[in-house]
């Protein structure tokens, strides 16, 4: 039997949710009910059919006793029943003509038991024999805001250009929520768990041709077919950036991956080589993955690696220089004429100010940040500007100080809109609840203006350097082809 494509995984016209309960008794039933709430909250555009043997009504919808009792066609089934019941449900789905099924349920190969492995093999065989596509088991499934598909009732309804594939449901939650906070919107996100049928290669192949997706991020614990994965990844990376976080690269991590999604892992060196040869971008943490998504989404490509750093704290600017140089960027010393221009905006008797690059405005940054940023960006010796705001240096946040900090951010936004050189913002050193809230307010303003925001100079430098490296490698590959 030839497998169907993934069209109905992302574009179903009807969804049945098996295992819902009006009483919410049991973890699986409660989970299935959350999926129902998520679909309704996110405005799923098709028909929704709750399924439970007891029937009844939930959220104004009739609950059907069995998938076969639903009068209309069903494209996609979300399965929230116990593992031993799943093979029969898949059999019923095949008889009903269901195109795709997502299995939330755990208790399969990741359990490490022979019974769990046999159950997974059974549903995998059903998929191969019938052509039905199965996402999972042991996963959160699909988030596609364009269709109103979601596994989180609080996920944004707006679509974007970033796609995510993640073997881990928890990591998918983090990427969506942290990305949303930093201005990122998603085309499609898939938590695919044990990958008994739909796997990482299938998803990459689909997303490579997806016109709604411009950037792909992936969290992978193991691959089903290494040769196919490499081939598909290489073709996908030719079409659009692919950012990969590999879990389970140590012996202990491999054990954790096996108990999480039943994945087989391999060494860090193997993955380094594979991803480099395929033209993908490797990251080493979820934070780095989100930073790279932010960078590709928000930062225009600098013409070079020379950057200017503007901030309001000397110690932080010194560390910023170390971070940027270590990442492979350059922080050139400003010539005397540029320093003189900057000094012209300072008050007499200024203390703690440095104008060499990094530029530290100390306590004078409130009034002259726009003018100094403009001088730096107009200077031909730098290719981009990083503005850093270490909020932890402030001991109190009176209305006046808060207003001044917001004013600085607005200056940076203004110069970003006026300049043709890229600008990035680092808001860091958050040491109290008040600094966190102010940081969120500043971050929101920057995100609304299209600025990339980072939470440390180290993260910003790594992400920007990788971004430049990627484009350089891609340019060389195109020249050689």
The string of pLDDT tens digits covering residues 375-386 is: 999 999 999 999
Residue that terminates a domain, selected from 259, 279, 298:
298
pLDDT at residue 346, rounded to an integer: 85
Mean pLDDT along residues 118-144: 97
Is there a single domain that holds both residue 291 and residue 312? no
Give the domain CATH number at 25. Answer: 3.40.50.720
Is there a single domain that holds both residue 128 and residue 243? no
Structural domain for 382, as ranges? 307-472
- Give the Cα separation of 345 and 303 in Å (integer): 28
Mean pLDDT along residues 213-239: 95
Is 105 a domain residue? yes
Is 180 a domain residue? yes
* Distance from the Cα of residue 417 to its chain's centroid: 26
**Which position has the higher pLDDT, 184 or 323?**
184
Is there a single domain that holds both residue 467 and residue 322? yes
Is 141 a domain residue? no
CA geometry: angle at 294 spanning 290 and 298, to 5°?
Answer: 175
Among 4-8, 207-211, 313-317, 418-422, the range scoring the smallest mean pLDDT is 313-317
Is there a single domain that holds both residue 266 and residue 324? no
Is there a single domain that holds both residue 110 and residue 236? no
pTM confidence score: 0.93
- Give the Cα separation of 425 and 409 in Å (integer): 9
Q: How many CB atoms lie within 10 A of CB 379?
A: 20
Is 416 a domain residue? yes
pLDDT at residue 481, rounded to an integer: 67
Mean pLDDT along residues 271-298: 96
Is there a single domain that holds both residue 283 and residue 357? no
Residue that terminates a domain, selected from 263, 298, 333:
298
Mean pLDDT along residues 77-86: 96
Question: Packing angle between helix 226-239 and helix 200-208, nearest 10 degrees?
Answer: 20
Is the torsion defined by CA of 195, 201, 203, 206 positive or negative?
Answer: negative
Q: Residue 173's pLDDT band (boundaries 50, 70, 90)?
A: very high
- pLDDT at position 135 over 50: yes
Is 143 a domain residue? no
The whole-chain average pLDDT of the chain stands at 91
pLDDT at residue 251, rounded to an integer: 57
Mean pLDDT along residues 438-447: 95
- pLDDT at position 312 over 60: yes
Is there a single domain that holds both residue 338 and residue 456? yes
- pLDDT at position 245 over 70: yes
DSSP string over 402-435 = HHHHHHHHHHHHHHHHH-SS-EEEEEE---SHHH
For residue 137, whether the previous peptide bond is cis, meaning omega lies within 30 degrees of 0, is yes
Is there a single domain that holds both residue 311 and residue 448? yes
Nearest to 379 by CA among 309, 283, 329, 426: 309
The string of pLDDT tens digits covering residues 337-387 is: 999 999 998 877 566 688 999 998 877 767 888 999 999 999 999 999 999
pLDDT at residue 367, rounded to an integer: 80
Number of domains in the chain: 3
Mean pLDDT along residues 262-286: 84
Residue that terminates a domain, selected from 68, 101, 135:
135
Is 150 a domain residue? no
pLDDT at residue 268, rounded to an integer: 81
The string of pLDDT tens digits covering residues 378-416 is: 999 999 999 999 887 776 777 888 898 999 999 999 999
Is 45 a domain residue? yes
The string of pLDDT tens digits covering residues 25-74 is: 455 557 899 999 999 999 998 999 999 999 999 999 999 999 999 999 99
Is there a single domain that holds both residue 294 and residue 317? no
pLDDT at residue 253, rounded to an integer: 47
% of the chain with per-residue pLDDT over 70 = 91
Is there a single domain that holds both residue 287 and residue 314? no
- Give the Cα separation of 108 and 136 in Å (integer): 10
Could you tell me which residues come within 8 angstroms of residue 71 by beta carbon, excluding any fewer than 6 positions away?
A: none
Is there a single domain that holds both residue 291 and residue 311? no
pLDDT at residue 249, rounded to an integer: 64
Is 146 a domain residue? no
Is there a single domain that holds both residue 194 and residue 240? yes
**Which position has the higher pLDDT, 470 or 351?**
470
Give the domain CATH number at 254. Answer: 3.40.50.261
């Amino acid at each position: 039997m030839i497998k169907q494509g993934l069209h109905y995984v992302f574009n179903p016209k009807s969804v049945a949710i098996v295992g819902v309960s009006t009483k919410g008794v049991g973890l699986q039933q409660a989970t299935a009910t959350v999926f129902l709430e998520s679909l309704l909250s996110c405005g799923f555009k098709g028909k929704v059919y709750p399924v439970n043997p007891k029937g009844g009504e939930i959220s104004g919808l009739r609950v059907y006793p069995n998938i076969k009792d639903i009068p209309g066609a069903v494209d996609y089934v979300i399965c929230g029943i116990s593992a031993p019941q799943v093979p029969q449900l898949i059999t019923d789905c095949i008889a009903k003509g269901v195109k795709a099924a997502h299995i939330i349920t755990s208790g399969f190969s990741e359990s490490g038991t022979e019974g769990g492995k046999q159950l997974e093999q059974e549903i995998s065989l059903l998929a191969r024999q019938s052509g039905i596509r199965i996402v999972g088991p042991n996963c959160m499934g699909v988030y596609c805001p364009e269709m109103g598909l979601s596994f989180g009732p609080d996920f944004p309804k707006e679509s974007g250009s970033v796609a995510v594939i993640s073997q881990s449901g928890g990591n998918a939650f983090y990427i969506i929520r942290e990305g949303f906070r930093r201005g990122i919107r998603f085309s499609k996100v898939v938590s695919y768990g044990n990958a008994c049928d739909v796997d990482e290669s299938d998803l990459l192949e689909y997303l490579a041709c997806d016109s709604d997706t411009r950037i792909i991020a992936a969290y992978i614990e193991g691959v089903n077919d290494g040769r196919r994965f490499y081939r598909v990844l290489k073709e996908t990376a030719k079409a659009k950036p692919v950012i990969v976080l590999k879990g389970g690269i140590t012996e202990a991590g491999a054990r954790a991956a096996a108990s999480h999604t039943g994945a087989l892992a391999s060494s860090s060196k193997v993955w380094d080589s594979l991803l480099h040869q395929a033209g993908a971008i490797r990251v080493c943490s979820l934070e780095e993955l989100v930073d790279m998504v932010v960078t590709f989404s928000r930062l225009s490509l600098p013409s070079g690696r020379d950057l200017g750093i503007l901030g309001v704290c000397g110690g932080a600017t010194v560390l910023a220089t170390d971070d940027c140089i270590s990442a492979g960027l350059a922080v050139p010393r400003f010539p005397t004429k540029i320093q003189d221009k900057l000094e012209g905006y300072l008050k007499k008797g200024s203390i703690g100010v440095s104008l060499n690059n990094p530029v530290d405005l100390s306590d004078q940054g409130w009034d002259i940040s726009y003018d100094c940023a403009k001088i730096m960006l107009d200077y031909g010796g730098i290719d981009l500007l990083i503005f850093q705001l270490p909020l932890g240096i402030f001991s109190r946040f009176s209305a006046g100080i808060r207003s001044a900090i917001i004013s600085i951010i607005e200056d940076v936004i203004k110069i970003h809109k006026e300049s043709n050189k890229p600008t990035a913002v680092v808001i860091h050193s958050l040491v109290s609840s008040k600094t966190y809230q102010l940081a969120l307010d500043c971050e929101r303003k920057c995100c609304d203006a299209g600025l990339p925001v980072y939470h440390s100079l180290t993260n910003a430098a790594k992400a920007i350097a990788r971004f430049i490296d990627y484009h350089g490698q891609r340019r060389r590959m195109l020249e050689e082809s």
